[in-house]
């Protein structure tokens, strides 16, 4: 990190102004303090200033309250992760101070609320402490009726001053956020903000300016992964969905329930997970390619019906926002341990597609791709994200919606005849003819979970079962042949290749950058298509001495994580090894670096 915050006390006088390329700010408090709101304002401001931004948050799984953090990294260059270490720690309570001081880099700045935090002398040499009575000054600024309310906005003012943020843009954001019935809410927010902004504590020794973005002139949108999926599905033309609430999937159903009526669609809250997937499949059968989604145990409950959709060859998108498992597991923490259930979940041989977006922008565009694969191949498509990508906010160039949005209104043009499970179909891909479509020869299809003949009528014939199994398999093989190989990050030959999937692309790339800066020969690829895999990965692997599969899941009985085992099975290559962890937190760059070093030595 070049031109970063110095933080060391200077020899008195006015605060100096330093130019920086990026900053990592961690805000620690309790979940009801509105710290997500401060982080959200900062992220949105960065997006509007054409800067790159990435956030990270933790939420307690308790019903109300509990410690919570929000970390935001803003940069004028490429931002790959939310940052291993913070430059600034803003803490509201003693527990926030003591619990998060370790996440601050040495010589970083602690901004603390002197009303609740007593600094520890032994830390005052390592970190530059700036104490401000945030709670009481907020009460002073806006009148102290509601205890502690508004102190987050006061703190936002402090940060705005410290980093010379664009005040008029922030005022506009506050105005947008607090438009509502009661104008006093906005005037209070603005009063708190300006009180914070005009506070100049005597021991602030340095203020900062983030350099201008390298992406000038790019219109950006700012959202988290769950929002990007909901809007991606809407752009794809999905007009029906059904689900049951479960963390961290729930936001997607809330957004779609609220938004779909604008487009003449409906999202239905069902009595349980099984009803949700069944209802979505029913709508897909009826011609409205539908979505269901869930997390953790909810996915397990849906697997029987997903198997039906494989057998009956129905399009369906299943969003799986992974969390820690098994069972109720770690409801609000990150893990990538549902790859096995996504690829294989359920009984019998039931091939289906699994896609894994790597960032928030992918969540938007790959949702559309998921819908189109489901429609083309008439198969369920798993869309695997995780708690980290679901809640992390990123800015990305605004999509050209006129081009991107699809109309997938079903077609009911009569057909002369129809074999829903035609064994002679090219690549095994047969169209789905929806109810409402007249079939002129008078022979109508039955969508079925029983093994069936080409018309969908039950058949227990061994030959038919083998042929239909092959048909369902061949569709996915045909899809696999069309998939692009991932681009190699770094040179295509070297000592170590890191292989990742899902939300871990940022920290893996940053690890590669660190290795290469130190002269080590490390490259990486990131798989977005997990089942089927694209063909030709073996040619990439052959350029390296070691291939390490980096995953947030357990190393398993035989020493490989879930993707690692799939790659081992396909390529039988002894140089494929696993780098795994299950601590419920996103990868830190230094963790990857250390594990790779240890593994490469063996």
Q: Which residues from 420-479 bind other proteins, rule CB under 8 A?
A: 434-440, 442-450, 457-458
Q: Among residues 185, 186, 274, 483, which is the contact residue for other proteins, using CB under 8 A? A: 274
**Strand-by-strand arrangement of the 576-580 sheet:** 522-527, 494-501, 544-551, 576-580
Question: Using the rule CB under 8 A, is 218 a contact of other proteins?
Answer: no
Between residue 42 and residue 61, which ones bind other proteins under the rule CB under 8 A?
A: 44, 47-48
User: Which tokens hold the place of 391?
Assistant: 């809640």
What CA–CA distance (Å, rounded) separates 361 from 47?
A: 13
Question: Using the rule CB under 8 A, is 276 a contact of other proteins?
Answer: yes
**69 vs 280 by CB, closer to other proteins:** 280
Residue 546 is inside which H or E element, if any?
strand 544-551
Q: In whole angstroms, how close is the CB of 346 to other proteins at the nearest point?
A: 11
DSSP state letter for 586: P
Give residues with Cβ within 8 angstroms of 430, minimum separation 6. 313, 378, 419, 420, 421, 422
- CA-based diameter of the chain, in Å? 92
**114 vs 437 by CB, closer to other proteins:** 437
Per-residue interface string for the shown chain with other proteins, residues 230-249, x marking contact by CB under 8 A: -x--xx-x-xx-x-------
**239 vs 323 by CB, closer to other proteins:** 239
Q: In whole angstroms, how close is the CB of 425 to other proteins at the nearest point?
A: 20
Which of helix, strand or coil describes residue 29? strand
The number of residues that bind other proteins (CB under 8 A) is 78
**236 vs 508 by CB, closer to other proteins:** 236
Per-residue interface string for the shown chain with other proteins, residues 75-114, x marking contact by CB under 8 A: ----------------------------------------
Residue whose C-alpha is closest to residue 544's, from 474, 597, 496, 507: 496
Q: Which stretch binds other proteins (CB under 8 A): 87-95, 221-229, 468-476, 525-533?
A: 221-229
Q: In whole angstroms, how close is the CB of 525 to other proteins at the nearest point?
A: 31
Q: Among residues 118, 286, 470, 481, which is the contact residue for other proteins, using CB under 8 A? A: 286
* Side-chain-facing half-sphere of 98: CA atoms under 13 Å: 8
**286 vs 598 by CB, closer to other proteins:** 286
Determine contact, residues 198/370, Cβ cutoff 8 Å. Answer: no
Which of helix, strand or coil describes residue 291? strand
Residue whose C-alpha is closest to residue 238's, from 275, 282, 287: 287
Q: In whole angstroms, how close is the CB of 166 to other proteins at the nearest point?
A: 14
Q: Among residues 64, 217, 271, 327, which is the contact residue for other proteins, using CB under 8 A? A: 271
Q: In whole angstroms, how close is the CB of 210 to other proteins at the nearest point?
A: 18
Question: Using the rule CB under 8 A, is 39 a contact of other proteins?
Answer: no
**31 vs 220 by CB, closer to other proteins:** 220
Between residue 362 and residue 421, which ones bind other proteins under the rule CB under 8 A?
A: 398-399, 401-402, 404-405, 407-410, 412-414
Burial (Cβ within 10 Å: 0-12, 13-18, ≥19) of residue 35: buried
Q: Among residues 159, 290, 374, 596, which is the contact residue for other proteins, using CB under 8 A? A: 290
DSSP state letter for 584: S
User: Which tokens hold the place of 252?
Assistant: 């997607």
- Annotate 156-193 with three-state secondary structure: HHHHHHHCCCCHHHHHHHHHHHCCCCCHHHHHHHHHHH
Facing residues of 576 across strands?
547
Q: Which stretch binds other proteins (CB under 8 A): 96-104, 125-133, 273-281, 566-574?
A: 273-281
**401 vs 424 by CB, closer to other proteins:** 401
Q: In whole angstroms, how close is the CB of 222 to other proteins at the nearest point?
A: 6
**104 vs 291 by CB, closer to other proteins:** 291
Question: Using the rule CB under 8 A, is 519 a contact of other proteins?
Answer: no
Question: Using the rule CB under 8 A, is 345 a contact of other proteins?
Answer: no
Q: In whole angstroms, how close is the CB of 143 to other proteins at the nearest point?
A: 30
Per-residue interface string for the shown chain with other proteins, residues 560-599, x marking contact by CB under 8 A: ----------------------------------------
Residue whose C-alpha is closest to residue 361's, from 16, 53, 40, 29: 53
Question: Using the rule CB under 8 A, is 138 a contact of other proteins?
Answer: no
Q: Among residues 204, 283, 512, 537, which is the contact residue for other proteins, using CB under 8 A? A: 283
Give residues with Cβ within 8 angstroms of 459, minimum separation 6. 450, 451, 452, 453, 465
Q: Which stretch binds other proteins (CB under 8 A): 147-155, 201-209, 301-309, 422-430?
A: 301-309
Residue whose C-alpha is closest to residue 260's, from 274, 287, 239, 246: 239
User: Which tokens hold the place of 354?
Assistant: 């699994």
208 φ, ψ (degrees, to nearest 5): -130, 155
**75 vs 346 by CB, closer to other proteins:** 346
Facing residues of 74 across strands?
23, 53
**263 vs 570 by CB, closer to other proteins:** 263
Question: Using the rule CB under 8 A, is 312 a contact of other proteins?
Answer: yes
**70 vs 231 by CB, closer to other proteins:** 231
131 φ, ψ (degrees, to nearest 5): -100, 135
Cis link prior to 532 (omega < 30° from 0)?
yes
Q: Among residues 28, 270, 342, 497, which is the contact residue for other proteins, using CB under 8 A? A: 270
Between residue 150 and residue 209, which ones bind other proteins under the rule CB under 8 A?
A: 176
CA of residue 155 relative to chain centroid, distance: 27
Give residues with Cβ within 8 angstroms of 98, minimum separation 6. 120
Question: Using the rule CB under 8 A, is 217 a contact of other proteins?
Answer: no
**113 vs 362 by CB, closer to other proteins:** 362
Q: In whole angstroms, how close is the CB of 357 to other proteins at the nearest point?
A: 18
User: Which tokens hold the place of 225?
Assistant: 């992964």
Checking DSSP bridges between strand 494-501 and strand 544-551, what pairing results, if any? parallel
Q: In whole angstroms, how close is the CB of 439 to other proteins at the nearest point?
A: 7
Residue 527 is inside which H or E element, if any?
strand 522-527
Q: In whole angstroms, how close is the CB of 445 to other proteins at the nearest point?
A: 7
């Amino acid at each position: 990190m070049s031109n970063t915050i110095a933080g060391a006390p200077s020899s008195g006088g006015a605060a100096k102004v330093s130019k920086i390329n990026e900053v990592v700010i961690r805000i620690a408090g309790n979940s009801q303090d509105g710290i997500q709101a401060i982080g959200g304002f900062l992220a949105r401001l960065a997006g509007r200033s054409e800067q790159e931004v990435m956030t990270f948050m933790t939420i307690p799984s308790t019903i109300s309250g509990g410690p919570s953090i929000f970390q935001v990294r803003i940069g004028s260059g490429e931002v790959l992760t939310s940052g291993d270490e913070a430059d600034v720690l803003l803490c509201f309570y003693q527990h926030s101070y003591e619990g998060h001081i370790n996440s601050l880099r040495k010589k970083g700045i602690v901004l603390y609320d002197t009303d609740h935090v007593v600094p520890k002398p032994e830390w005052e040499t390592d970190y530059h402490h700036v104490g401000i009575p945030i709670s009481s000054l907020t009460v002073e600024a806006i009148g102290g009726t509601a205890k502690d309310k508004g102190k987050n906005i006061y703190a936002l003012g402090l940060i705005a001053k410290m980093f010379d943020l664009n005040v008029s843009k922030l005022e506009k954001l506050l105005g947008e956020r607090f438009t509502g019935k009661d104008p006093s809410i906005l005037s209070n927010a603005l009063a708190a903000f300006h009180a914070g902004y005009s506070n100049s504590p005597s021991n602030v020794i340095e203020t900062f300016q983030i350099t201008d973005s390298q992406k000038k002139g790019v219109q950006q949108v700012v959202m988290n992964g769950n929002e990007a999926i909901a809007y991606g599905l809407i752009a794809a033309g999905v007009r029906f969905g059904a689900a049951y609430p479960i963390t961290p999937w729930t936001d997607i159903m809330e957004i779609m329930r609220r938004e779909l009526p604008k487009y003449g669609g409906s999202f239905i809250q069902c009595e349980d997970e099984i009803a949700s997937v069944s209802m979505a499949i029913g709508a897909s059968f009826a011609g409205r390619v539908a979505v269901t989604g869930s997390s953790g145990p909810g996915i397990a409950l849906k697997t029987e019906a997903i198997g039906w959709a494989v057998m009956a060859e129905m399009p369906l998108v299943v969003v799986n926002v992974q969390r820690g498992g098994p069972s109720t597991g770690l409801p609000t923490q990150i893990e990538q341990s549902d790859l096995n259930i996504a690829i294989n979940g359920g009984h019998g041989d039931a091939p289906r597609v699994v896609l894994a977006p790597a960032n928030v922008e992918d969540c938007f565009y790959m949702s559309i791709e998921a819908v189109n694969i489901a429609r083309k191949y008439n198969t369920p498509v798993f869309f695997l994200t995780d708690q980290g990508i679901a809640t992390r906010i990123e800015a990305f160039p605004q999509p050209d919606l006129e081009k991107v949005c699809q109309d997938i209104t079903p077609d009911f043009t009569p057909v002369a005849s129809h074999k829903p499970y035609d064994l002679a179909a090219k690549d095994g891909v047969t169209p789905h003819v929806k109810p409402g479509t007249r079939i002129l020869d008078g022979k109508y299809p039955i969508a079925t979970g029983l093994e069936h003949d080409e018309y969908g009528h039950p058949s227990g014939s061994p030959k038919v079962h083998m042929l239909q199994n092959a048909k369902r398999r061949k569709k996915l093989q045909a899809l696999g042949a069309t998939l692009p190989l991932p681009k190699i990050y770094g040179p295509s030959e070297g000592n170590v290749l890191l292989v990742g999937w899902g939300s871990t692309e940022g920290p893996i790339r940053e690890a590669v950058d660190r290795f290469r800066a130190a002269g080590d020969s490390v490259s990486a690829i990131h798989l977005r298509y997990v089942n089927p895999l694209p063909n030709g990965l073996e040619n990439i692997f052959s350029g390296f001495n070691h291939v390490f599969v980096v995953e947030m899941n357990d190393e398993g009985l035989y020493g490989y994580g879930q993707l690692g085992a799939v790659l081992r099975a396909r390529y039988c290559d002894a140089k494929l090894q696993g780098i795994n962890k299950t601590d419920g937190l996103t990868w830190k760059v230094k963790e990857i670096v250390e594990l790779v070093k240890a593994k490469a030595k063996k």
